[in-house]
Amino acid sequence: MSTPLSEPRTAPQPLPVQLPVLDRGYVRLEDVMGTDLTPVNDARASYMKRSEALTDRDVRLLDFLATNEHTSPFRGGFVKLEIKAPIMVAREWFKYRIGSHHTVDTAQFLGVEIPEEFLWTGQGDDGGHGMMADATQSRNEASRRYVTLPPEYYTPSWWRGKPARSKQGSSEPVADELQRKWTARWLERQEQSLNDFEEALADGLAAEQARLFLYAYGLYTVWRWTASIQSVAWFLHQRDDGKEPGAPEDEPAPNPHGLNAQWEIRQYARAVRKLVEPLFPHSLPRLLAYYNSAANTTAMLAHITVGELRERLADAPDDARAADVLKTKPTAD
C-alpha cells in the first residue's frame, strides 16, 4: 500500500519571498499554482483518477514521467517570479520557452476550431501572432516609455578575462591593475549617461527617446515571469550550475552543463532554484535531473575515446542501457 509522503499545501505560503542577486538585483516569488500532486493528477487524467495526498507510488510516477519525457503533466503547475536583472541577463533569459507552447497547430491537428477572440495577436513578447502563441509562459516587463524608473547600473565586483580557446564565455579575473582601470571607466560612463538622461528629460525630451542615453546592456530592468514546472526545469538545466547561492567559485558544480552559461545569469538561476524547488520538491528535481544527466552523458560521449568507453562498459550486463551505466560512472577528471 502506498504511504503519503507529504500533504498538499492547503493554504498559501507567505508571499513574496525575495533573494538578492548581484549588486542591485533580486528574484522574488510572487505567486504559485499547484503542488507536486498537480503533474501526478494531470498524468492520471486519461484514467479519470486522482490522488489526494502524495505517496511513494506517486513519486515513482513522477520518475517515470520525467525519464520517459512525458512532459505535458509538468506544464500544469506554475510560479510567478519578479526579476530585477541587467538587460544582458534579461535577453538571455527570454530565449527559454521549452515547456511553454500549446499552439494553434496542436488544436488544428486534433480538429479543434479555436475561436478568433482567443488568438493572441499582441506585440510579440510572448509569441506575437496567435499561430505562435506562448500560452503557458509569459513575461511582462517594466517600460521606460510609461514610467520613469530610476536608472540603475550593474557594476561587476570583478572583471573576467576572455577564454583562451573559445569565442564566448570568460576565464579568470584579470590583473588588479586592470580591475581598477575598468571599474573606474565604467563608473565614469554611468555618471555621464545618467547626467545626459536627466538633462534630456529636463529639456522636455520624451522619455522614450531620452532613454537612448542609457547604456543598455548594464542597465537594470524589471519583469514578471510566469512559467510552468517544465519551463523552470529547462531554464535551470541551461543556466544553473547546481551550486548554492554564494558558493565559492572553485566548488565543483553538480551540473557541469550549466557552467557554459554566463556567470551573472547563473547567479539568478541559483536563486530561482532556491525559491521554486521547495514548492515542487519532487517534480522539479526529477525533471531537472533527467535533463542534466542526458546532457552530461552526451557531453561525455563527445570527449571519451572508444577504449575508455569499452572500459566503462566492461562489467555491465548485456541488457543494461549504456546511458544508465555512464551516468553512474564519473569521468576521470
pLDDT tens digits, one per residue of 72-97 = 899 999 999 999 999 999 988 887 65
Domain boundaries, the chain: 4-100+136-154+220-304, 156-217
More confident residue, 329 or 57: 57
Confidence (pLDDT) at 263: 92
Confidence (pLDDT) at 3: 56
Confidence (pLDDT) at 281: 94
Return phi, psi of residue 162, to 5°. -75, 150
Round to whole Å and give the CA distance between 24 and 30: 19
Are residues 229 and 99 in contact, defined by beta-carbon separation less than 8 angstroms? yes
Instruction: Give 227's strand partners.
Output: 79
Which residues, including other chains, have CB under 8 Å from residue 137's CB and lie 6 or more apart?
97, 99, 100, 126, 225, 226, 227, 228, 231
Strand-by-strand arrangement of the 138-141 sheet: 17-21, 25-33, 78-86, 220-228, 138-141
Q: Residue 36: helix, strand or coil by DSSP?
A: coil
More confident residue, 2 or 42: 42
pLDDT reading at 154 higher than 50: yes
Q: Residue 141: helix, strand or coil by DSSP?
A: strand
Round to whole Å and give the CA distance between 313 and 73: 34
pLDDT reading at 144 higher than 80: no
- pLDDT, mean of residues 182-206: 95
Exposed / middle / buried, residue 185 (Cβ in 10 Å: 0-12, 13-18, 19+): exposed
pLDDT reading at 253 higher than 70: yes
Are residues 244 and 270 in contact, defined by beta-carbon separation less than 8 angstroms? yes
Domain 4-100+136-154+220-304 bears CATH identifier 3.30.1360.170: yes
Average pLDDT over all residues of the chain: 79
Of the ranges 112-121, 160-169, 202-211, 293-302, which one carries the lowest mean pLDDT score?
Answer: 112-121
Q: Residue 180: helix, strand or coil by DSSP?
A: helix
More confident residue, 115 or 165: 165
* Segment 269-303, tens digit of pLDDT: 999 999 999 999 999 999 999 888 865 555 445 55
Antiparallel, parallel or unpaired: β 138-141 and 78-86: unpaired
pLDDT reading at 111 higher than 50: no
pLDDT reading at 61 higher than 90: yes
More confident residue, 282 or 142: 282
Q: Among 233, 224, 226, which Cα is nearest to 74's?
A: 233
